[in-house]
Amino acid sequence: MSQKVLLTGKEVNIILHRLACQLIENHTHFNDTVLIGLQPRGSFVAERLKQILIEEYGIKNLKLGLLDITFFRDDFRRSTQPLEANKTTIDFVVENKRVVFIDDVLYTGRSIRAALTAIQSFGRPSEVELLTLIDRRFSRHLPIQPNYRGRQVDAINEERVKVNWKENQGEDVVYLIK
């Protein structure tokens, strides 16, 4: 198994700043917008974006929640390993809000489908958008596309995309694993 660096830490940081600017262009003051990081890996992207938006662009009253979709997935019973759920942390209502789902890699689209079902427990959003760091465009099982994408990757066959974060792997880097 070999791995190739797709994005260095510096490139990840540049992409996160670009994505933050795109969010500001479309949501201005975030008065009616909430960010929802999909557990577990989307939470790293979401936390970084929140930090950039608040510290560097002065966005106030930014709401960020973390959503666990483990038991909303259509394939959760197919694993032989017991599943470990993550914690959902949403302390606000999403009723009539613009929701931006945030994840690290968009692959088959099944996680996003699960998130659409899970978020209904917190209200009915007026609109839902998707932001993803990596878009694996040739792997979709469902007709789901991101509104905001950091980098599009053409990973084929058995290739995988792995995103490492300083917070848990000690470095910010994106690998293509063959």
pLDDT at residue 155 in the model: 81
The phi-psi region of residue 96 (left if phi > 0; otherwise alpha if psi is between -120 and 50; otherwise beta) is: left
* pLDDT band of 83, cuts 50, 70, 90: low
Can you give the residue ranges of every domain in the chain?
3-19+32-70+86-177
Six-digit token pair at 116?
């659409």
Size of the chain in residues: 178
Q: Which position has the token pair 């510096």?
A: 10
pLDDT at residue 122 in the model: 93
Q: Which three-class secondary structure state does DSSP give residue 173?
A: strand
Query: What tens digit of pLDDT does each residue of 113-167 get?
Result: 999 999 999 999 999 999 999 999 888 889 999 999 999 998 887 889 999 999 9
The fold of 3-19+32-70+86-177 is: Rossmann fold (3.40.50)
107 against 79, higher pLDDT:
107
Nearest to 92 by CA among 51, 50, 123: 123
